[in-house]
Structure 1
Amino acid sequence: MIYCEEDFLQLSGLQHFAFCRRQWALIHIERQWQENLRTVERDLFHHRAHNGEARERRGNLLILRDLSIVSPTLGISGKCDVVEFHQDSGGVPLYGEEGLWSPFPVEYKRGAPKTHQADELQLCAQAMCLEEMLCCTVAEGALFYGETRRRVSVLFTPELRQQVHTMTEEMHQLSRRGYTPKAKPSKGCNACSLKELCLPALMKGKDVEQYLRQAMEEEP
């Protein structure tokens, strides 16, 4: 299936979706958002990652920052923090550059590596966009974590690619329906910037009246 441009979804939403489908729907369908310390720190970290020349050459390495990408097949669009192009006889030609080049996407994350695959899925989706745009194969990329100051290599396996296909298809289905999934409380809810909008506590055996009564009693 090929999606029309007006139906494209934000690539960055894949990370939200992998972490929590309700969080994704609140942000990308209902257009709700709240800042907290984590989101502010994340935005500042990404700003520093993009704070440099959009195009930088280091010998056989070409670095592009804030690169716009798109995949009509997946129906997503977005930007890569950094794409390193390594000069490679098996690569692809680039406008304005001599020789052939192989892309290597690098995504910057504020914290540390996570127990789930949300970051890997987002990076894999970036690679799949690059493949579709450049008619090449991107086998590997990296996640750079600000807390550890280290890169983590990510192989774009068939399993990871299939997860991207499955999740983006589900995102489009929910978007077409305008449907926001119900909350499924987890440990991650406490750090979520949308906790007060999502109200996951309502799903723990309390009805709305009980929750509001308790909230009013807790107010000073």
Structure 2
Amino acid sequence: MKYDDENMLMLSGIQHFMFCPRQWGLIHLSQEWEDNSLTTEGKLLHKRVDDPFYRQKNGDIITLRSVHVASHSLGLYGITDAIELTPSDSSINTIRHPHYPGYWNVLPVEYKRGKQKPNRCDEVQLAAQVMCLEEMYQIQLDYGALYYHEVRRRDVIYVNEELRELTKKCADKMHDIFSSMQIPKSVYSPHCKRCSLYDICLPLVCKKSQVSTYLKKYLYEETT
């Protein structure tokens, strides 16, 4: 399925959705938002990163900031934190840049405030960026990178078929819920207390259930 321009959703929302479909619904359907210390730290980090006029050259590597990307197959649009270009002798799976002659390999890099997470939220967001770049430039990318500010560590994430399928299912479910305008019900889990929308969501009001069951309902149920 191809989504038209009027039905595109924010790419950054896929990370929220993977973390908690209700959080995504409150932000993107109800326009609810509250900052806490974690979101404030994240904003300060991205304030240093998100400069669309920033161009850094470190040896042969050129770093571009805040590059706009979109995929009509996913129905997502957004802005990358950084894209690193390295020179290539081949025209295969490379791009041309109007300001830099030659062919360039592409590496999207997403910056995160904390450290590696036990879930796949960050990986899905990065995979969506990879899939946007592939569609825009008609290239094939095998991996991207996540940089975690707290531990000063870069992790290379291989975007395999399983991760691509998970990302596509997640994007499609976002569109389904957005079309229905029905915010998913709240489900309490230990990570709820770290969410800036805790007092808006009120997860303890609803019956508790396992997060794995909740995510299975939205992401892993088999289609018929």
**Is the shorter-chain TM-score for this pair beyond 0.5, marking a shared fold?**
yes
Q: Which residue of 2 aligns with 1:80?
A: 80
Q: Which residue of 1 aligns with 2:57?
A: 57
| Whole-angstrom CA distance in 1 between matches of 2:140 and 2:54 | 23
Please, which runs of 5 or more residues in structure 1 have no aligned partner? Answer: 206-220
Please give the TM-score of this superposition, normalised by the length of structure 2.
0.88
Cα–Cα, structure 1 residues 184 and 108, in superposed 2: closer, same or farther, change >3 Å? same
Q: Which residue of 2 aligns with 1:200?
A: 203
Q: How many Å apart are 1:51 and its aligned residue?
A: 5.2
* 1:161 partner letter: R
Counterparts of 1:22-33 in structure 2, within 5 Å, are: 22-33=22-33
| 4+ residue runs over 4 A deviation | none
Q: Deviations over 1:78-100 (max 9, x none)?
A: 00000001112232222232111
Counterparts of 1:49-198 in structure 2, within 5 Å, are: 49-50=49-50, 53-88=53-88, 89=90, 90=92, 91-198=94-201
| Whole-angstrom CA distance in 1 between matches of 2:135 and 2:21 | 26
| Whole-angstrom CA distance in 2 between matches of 1:77 and 1:53 | 20
Please give the TM-score of this superposition, normalised by the length of structure 1.
0.89
Q: How many Å apart are 1:48 and its aligned residue?
A: 1.6
SS of the residue aligned with 1:84?
strand
| Whole-angstrom CA distance in 1 between matches of 2:137 and 2:179 | 29
| Whole-angstrom CA distance in 2 between matches of 1:198 and 1:73 | 31
SS of the residue aligned with 2:186?
coil
SS of the residue aligned with 1:99?
strand
* 2:20 partner letter: C
Q: How many Å apart are 1:42 and its aligned residue?
A: 0.6
Q: How many residues align?
A: 205
The answer to whether the 8 Å contact 2:86/2:105 transfers is: yes
Once the two structures are overlaid, the 10-residue window that deviates more, 5-14 or 44-53, is 44-53
| Whole-angstrom CA distance in 2 between matches of 1:97 and 1:203 | 55
Q: Which residue of 2 aligns with 1:2?
A: 2
* 1:179 partner letter: Q
* 1:5 partner letter: D
SS of the residue aligned with 1:165?
helix
| Whole-angstrom CA distance in 1 between matches of 2:127 and 2:205 | 35
| Whole-angstrom CA distance in 1 between matches of 2:80 and 2:95 | 18
SS of the residue aligned with 2:101?
coil
Structure possessing the higher radius of gyration over alpha carbons: 1
The answer to whether the 8 Å contact 2:82/2:109 transfers is: yes
Q: Which residue of 2 aligns with 1:208?
A: none
**Sequence identity percentage:** 40
